[in-house]
Amino acid sequence: MVRIVKQLARSAARQKVSPSPLPRPFPLYKSPRTPFVPTLSAMQKTRKSVSKRFKVTGTGKVMRRSPNGRHLLSSKSRKQRRRANKSKRVDSGFEKKMLASMPFA
């Protein structure tokens, strides 16, 4: 490649013409023989299991249900039952993954 550029520069110097740019190679996705076909990986889909378990608030927070609020509640204290009744915010490390799984939320 460098050799070709030097040769072009020498020939341009002799002819007193600016060197022409080199022809660009084809991009990897575009071959002269095969047409470009978009793949299905670009399509965004919602993961339904995630959208049923998590909700996005109006400010963009991702909320989840608290555990331990389904059964055996008589053996749990009032404080445990009250806290299990409320929804909690998803940890910031998982929030990006949850939002990526729900592109339309």
Residue 18 lies in a domain: no
Predicted confidence (pLDDT) per residue in 68-103, tens digit: 999 999 999 999 999 999 999 999 888 998 998 898
Rounded Cα–Cα distance for residues 90 and 99 (Å) = 11
| Res 67: pLDDT | 94
pTM above 0.75, yes or no: no
Domain count, the chain: 1
Q: What is the pLDDT of residue 45?
A: 87
- Tokens standing for 88? 């909690």
* The pLDDT of residue 12 is above 60: yes
- Look up the domain containing 63 and give its range: 47-105
CB contact at 8 A, 5 and 64: no
Residue 13 within any structural domain of the chain: no
Q: What is the pLDDT of residues 23-60, one digit of tens each?
A: 555 555 555 565 555 555 567 889 999 999 999 999 99
